[in-house]
Each structure stands twice: as structure tokens, then as C-alpha cells.
Amino acid sequence: MNQLDALRQWTTVVADTGDFKQLGVSKPQDATTNPSLILKAVQKPEYRPLLDETVKKHAGKPLDEVIDRLLVRFGSEILSIIPGRVSTEVDARLSFDTAATVTRGERIVALYKAEGIDTEKRLLIKVASTWEGIEAARILQQKGIRTNLTLLFSFAQAVACADAGVQLISPFVGRIYDWYKKSAGAKWDEAASAGANDPGVKSVREIFNYYKQHGIKTEVMGASFRNVGQIQALAGCDLLTISPELLAELAASNEPLQHALDAKAAPGGDIAKVSYDEAGFRFALNEDAMATEKLAEGIRAFAADAVKLEKLMQESGK
């Protein structure tokens, strides 16, 4: 049994890609996308026709709507290959606007429904884990629209997401690791900070144990991996979303894989139940320099890629 098959015993394997033609190889249950992955995909010759066809078909419509239609086109292609759910992201430029995020999320759902997709079972609307994004997710969930809260770097964000009743959270393991490594500089000890001691892994483990201890139903999906060691150290997490390159690396290894996270064996009684109002959330996030910086950086990066995608569409329409 290779490590990818071993991982499937305890964890739902999710592919993190817009390159849906690779999905037949790794056979994931679910798939996630984001603006950066879609931008990367449409710059490849085999996917550029999807962008050109979408622009041509919906000429004259607002650019933001055409982008959503492109995202849904990719998502629908992905759903034709995988058995589970796809996550489609709301424009990151709306990360601080609750009402606009709800409206955009509802439009994405409507576009999928028009394609004949069972959105309740097969779609997650992806929203940034700002206070406004979490509140938008609360509203969407109440409307029966399942959400995936992304760009999550802190325990406070995870607590607020659980309180909002979101379907799933995506803590970013690799970006947490990146911040601590950069912060340590020459003092960084890679060996001492690997595996279970990786700061990104430790963050997800704390959230996972807190959720399981307190019976929180929100799913935990580790994301943004830099190496297979991080994945191995989180074997047993509810879900893990993994790039095609790291999926291939896992599939190529026949080394034994240990069950690292176990919901039934999650420590009990050592993490007190907490809750945040808006002021408390903002202060807790402010106290976490890593989470504050990586959240802002992530929103900027996704927003920049959304602008690049718009430019490609404008050029295509000329």
C-alpha cells in the first residue's frame, strides 16, 4: 500500500488544483480551487479555450459575472470527474463586505444549479476567514449553502467559524510554516521544526483537538502544504487538500504511514471552550502577528490574481 492509499484510510483526500485533467490520476474525493489556481490553469494551452469560450458566450455581461461563470465552468468540469464536492471561491476583493459576499455566493450557487449540479451535496462556497467573511458564511449556511472558510491561520478564526456553523475550514499549514521560518531567519532549525513540530501542523492539531473535544461538527481540512512531511504529520485529519505534485509524491512512496490525528483519541479537558464577539475576535487576531500578516497577504495575492484574470478576459474579448 502506498502512502496515498494509506492516507485514505483515515482522511478524505482532496485535490488542490484547477488542472482537472490531472484528477483521473490521483482520484481524489473532493477538489478545491482558488483564483490563483484558475489563473495558472487558463494560461496553459489546453485550458485557454475555456476562458475564450466563456468570454465569447457571455459578451456584454459584467466582468465579475463572466469570471464567476468561468469558475463554475471549471468547477463543473471537476465535478464530472470526482465523486464529491468542489470548492469555488468568492472574489477576495469582497473579503470585508458581508452583504456583497453573500450576494456573490448566492450567484455562484445559482450558476451551478443552472448546470444541473446538486449544490447542497456537491458545492462549497469558499470565503476568506475575516470577521465579515465569517458572518457572510453564517448567513449562507442558514440559507442552506455550505461554506469553506479559507485563509485561516489562527485559533481565533477557527473558533469564530465553528460558532458560525460553517461546514468546513481550511487552515493553511504551509503559509504558517513560511512565516515562522522567515521570522526565525538564520536561527531556523528545519529538522527540529519538521513533522509534528512544524508550526503549521501544530496549529491544525490544536484546532482539530478543540473541535473533537467539544463535539464541533465543522470539518477540518488542512491546506497549503510545502512538503509531504506536513501531510504525513496530519494523517487522520478530516480532510487534506493537496497539490497534484505532492499527491504524486505520496503515491510513489511505500513507506509506512502512521495515524497521526485520531478524533477518538483527541485529548479531553485541556482546551477550554471559548467564543468571540466582533471586538474580541479582532483583538485576538491582532495579537497573532503571523495570522494578521498572512491573512492580509493572502487576500492581497488572491485579489491581484483576480485582476490578472480580468485582464486576460478583457484581452480575449477584443
Q: For this structure, is 126 an active site residue? A: yes
CB 86 within 8 A of CB 33: yes
**CA triplet 205, 209, 211: central angle to 5 degrees?**
120
CA distance from start to end of the chain = 52
Residues making up the chain, counted from first to last: 318
Q: Are 170 and 147 in contact (CB under 8 A)?
A: no
DSSP-derived secondary structure letter, 284: H
CA nearest 208: which of 235, 230, 181? Answer: 235
Cβ count near 150 (within 10 Å): 28
Mapped onto helix, strand or coil, the DSSP state of residue 16 is strand
Catalytic residue, from 27, 40, 61, 126: name it. 126
User: For cell 479559507, what's the residue?
Assistant: 150
Q: Which residues on adjacent β-strands are paired with residue 1?
A: none
Q: Which residues are catalytic?
A: 126
